[in-house]
Structure 1
Amino acid sequence: MDDQILFALGSRTCVPEDPLIAARAMGLRSVVFTPRPPGCGAAAGLMDHVDYVDLQQPEQAVELARRIHDRAPIRGVLGYEEDATLMAAHIAAALGLPAHPVAAAEAAMDKPAMKRLFQRAGVPCADFTVARDEDDAVAWARAGGYPVVVKPCRGGASQGVIRADDDTSLRLAYRRLRRIIRDHDLDNGDRPPSAQLVERYLPGAEVSVELLLQYGEAAVVTEFGKPLPLTGPFFEETVYITPPALEAGLRKELHELAVAAAAALGFHHGPAHCEIRLTPDGPRVLEIAGRLLGGACARSFRDRLGGDVHTYLLRAAMGERVTIPPPAADAPVVGALMMPVPAEGRVVAVGGVERARRVPGVWDVSMMAEPGEVIVPFPEQACYAVGFVSASGRDEADVVDSLSWAGASISLELAPVRPDRWTSPIAAEPGPEPAGLPEPAGQLAGILFDELPAAEALCEARQVLSAQLRQPGEHCRIGVDGVGLLTGWVLDGIGHIGAGGPYPRARRSGGYRRAMSELIAALAAEFARRGATQCVIDVDPRSPALAGTVAALGFARRPRPAPEPGGTRTFSCALTPASCADGEVSGDAGSCCTC
Structure 2
Amino acid sequence: MPAENPSKRLLLLMPTTTYRADPFLEAARRMNLEVVVGSDFCQVLAKEWDIPLSLRLRYVSQAVDEIVDYDREHPLDAIVPVDDYTTEIAARACKVLGLPHNTPEAAIAAHNKYRMREMLSAAGVWCPCFARFDLSLPVEEIALEQRYPCVLKPVLLSGSRGVIRADSPDGFIEAFRRIGRILESASDRPPSLDPDAHRIMVESYMPGQEVALEGLLNGGRLRVLSLFDKPDPLEGPFFEETIYVTPSRLPEVTQEVVADVVQQASTAVGLTEGPVHAELRVHHGEARIIEIAGRSIGGLCSRVLKYGLGISLEELILRHALGQDVGGVGRKAQDCKAHDGRAQSGRAQSGRAQSARAQGRRAQGRGGTDRGTHGLDRQDDGGNEPGAAGVMMLPVPEGGLFQGFDGVEEAMTIPGVEDVVITAKEGDMLTPLPEGAGYPGFIFAKGDEPGQVEQVLRKAHGRLRMRVKTVLAT
Cα distance in 2 between the residues matched to 1:172 and 1:270: 39
Matched, 1:90 2:92: yes
Alignment of 1:328-477 (within 5 A): 328=380, 331-382=386-437, 384-417=438-471
159-168 vs 410-419, greater mean Cα deviation: 410-419
Superposed CA RMSD: 2.3
Preserved contact between residue 344 and residue 374 of structure 1 (Cα < 8 Å): yes
Cα distance in 1 between the residues matched to 2:182 and 2:193: 11
Cα distance in 2 between the residues matched to 1:234 and 1:333: 28
- Which of 247, 253, 268 matches 1:249? 253
Deviations 1:466-509 (A, max 9, x none): xxxxxxxxxxxxxxxxxxxxxxxxxxxxxxxxxxxxxxxxxxxx
Preserved contact between residue 389 and residue 403 of structure 1 (Cα < 8 Å): yes
Matched, 1:304 2:308: yes
Matched, 1:6 2:11: yes
Preserved contact between residue 240 and residue 337 of structure 1 (Cα < 8 Å): yes
- Which of 17, 31, 35 matches 2:22? 17
Shift of 1:281: 7.5
- Structure 2 residue aligned with 1:118: 120
Preserved contact between residue 224 and residue 241 of structure 1 (Cα < 8 Å): yes
Matched residue of 1:32: which SS? Answer: strand
Shift of 1:416: 2.9
Shift of 1:52: 4.3
- Structure 2 residue aligned with 1:33: 38
Matched residue of 1:197: which SS? Answer: strand
Preserved contact between residue 411 and residue 464 of structure 2 (Cα < 8 Å): yes
Shift of 1:55: 2.2
Preserved contact between residue 339 and residue 386 of structure 1 (Cα < 8 Å): yes
- Structure 2 residue aligned with 1:59: 61
307-316 vs 71-80, greater mean Cα deviation: 71-80
Cα distance in 1 between the residues matched to 2:405 and 2:229: 29
Matched residue of 1:198: which SS? Answer: strand
Preserved contact between residue 120 and residue 268 of structure 2 (Cα < 8 Å): yes
Cα distance in 2 between the residues matched to 1:287 and 1:155: 12
Q: Give, as a single letter, the amino acid of the residue that structure 2 aligns with 1:347.
A: F
- Structure 2 residue aligned with 1:190: 195
- Structure 1 residue aligned with 2:154: 152
Q: Give, as a single letter, the amino acid of the residue that structure 1 aligns with 2:140.
A: D
Preserved contact between residue 335 and residue 400 of structure 1 (Cα < 8 Å): yes
- Which of 203, 225, 249 matches 2:207? 203
Compared CA separation, residues 123 and 304, structure 1 to 2 (3 A): same
Preserved contact between residue 153 and residue 164 of structure 2 (Cα < 8 Å): yes
- Structure 2 residue aligned with 1:593: none
Shift of 1:16: 5.1
- Structure 2 residue aligned with 1:109: 111
Q: Give, as a single letter, the amino acid of the residue that structure 1 aligns with 2:110.
A: A
Alignment of 1:482-501 (within 5 A): none
Compared CA separation, residues 32 and 46, structure 1 to 2 (3 A): same
Shift of 1:38: 9.1
Matched residue of 1:74: which SS? Answer: coil
- Scaled by the length of structure 1, the TM-score of the pair is 0.66
Preserved contact between residue 75 and residue 318 of structure 1 (Cα < 8 Å): yes
Preserved contact between residue 278 and residue 293 of structure 2 (Cα < 8 Å): yes
Q: Give, as a single letter, the amino acid of the residue that structure 1 aligns with 2:436.
A: Q
Matched, 1:231 2:283: no
Cα distance in 2 between the residues matched to 1:365 and 1:306: 21
Preserved contact between residue 396 and residue 431 of structure 2 (Cα < 8 Å): yes
- Which of 115, 131, 139 matches 2:144? 139
Shift of 1:354: 2.6
- Which of 151, 172, 175 matches 2:174? 172
Structure of higher RCO (CA pairs closer than 8 Å, 6+ residues apart): 2
Cα distance in 2 between the residues matched to 1:287 and 1:359: 35
Rg: which structure is higher? 1
- Structure 2 residue aligned with 1:240: 244
Preserved contact between residue 58 and residue 192 of structure 2 (Cα < 8 Å): no
301-310 vs 30-39, greater mean Cα deviation: 30-39
Preserved contact between residue 118 and residue 264 of structure 1 (Cα < 8 Å): yes
Q: Structure 2: which 5+ residue stretches go unaligned? A: 332-378
Matched residue of 1:56: which SS? Answer: coil
Shift of 1:188: 8.2
- Which of 268, 293, 297 matches 1:293? 297
Q: Structure 1: which 5+ residue stretches go unaligned? A: 420-539, 541-595
Preserved contact between residue 30 and residue 46 of structure 1 (Cα < 8 Å): no
Cα distance in 2 between the residues matched to 1:61 and 1:298: 28
Cα distance in 1 between the residues matched to 2:70 and 2:133: 44
- Structure 2 residue aligned with 1:548: none
Preserved contact between residue 20 and residue 47 of structure 1 (Cα < 8 Å): no
Compared CA separation, residues 56 and 339, structure 1 to 2 (3 A): same
- Structure 1 residue aligned with 2:279: 275
Cα distance in 2 between the residues matched to 1:140 and 1:37: 47
Q: Give, as a single letter, the amino acid of the residue that structure 2 aligns with 1:150.
A: L
Preserved contact between residue 275 and residue 285 of structure 1 (Cα < 8 Å): yes
Matched residue of 1:17: which SS? Answer: helix
Shift of 1:292: 1.3
Deviations 1:517-575 (A, max 9, x none): xxxxxxxxxxxxxxxxxxxxxxx9xxxxxxxxxxxxxxxxxxxxxxxxxxxxxxxxxxx
Q: Give, as a single letter, the amino acid of the residue that structure 1 aligns with 2:93.
A: I
Preserved contact between residue 254 and residue 285 of structure 2 (Cα < 8 Å): no
Q: Give, as a single letter, the amino acid of the residue that structure 2 aligns with 1:353.
A: V
Cα distance in 2 between the residues matched to 1:11 and 1:407: 29
Shift of 1:273: 0.6
Deviations 1:142-165 (A, max 9, x none): xxx311100001110211000011
- Structure 2 residue aligned with 1:215: 219
Cα distance in 1 between the residues matched to 2:465 and 2:214: 31
Shift of 1:243: 0.7
320-329 vs 177-186, greater mean Cα deviation: 320-329
Shift of 1:214: 1.2
- Scaled by the length of structure 2, the TM-score of the pair is 0.82
- Structure 2 residue aligned with 1:473: none
Matched residue of 2:195: which SS? Answer: coil
Matched residue of 1:44: which SS? Answer: coil
Matched residue of 1:124: which SS? Answer: coil
Q: Give, as a single letter, the amino acid of the residue that structure 1 aligns with 2:150.
A: V
Please identify runs of 4+ aligned residues in structure 1 that moved more than 6 A.
none
- Structure 2 residue aligned with 1:128: 130
Cα distance in 2 between the residues matched to 1:362 and 1:234: 28
Cα distance in 2 between the residues matched to 1:4 and 1:369: 32
Aligned residues: 412
Cα distance in 1 between the residues matched to 2:49 and 2:247: 33
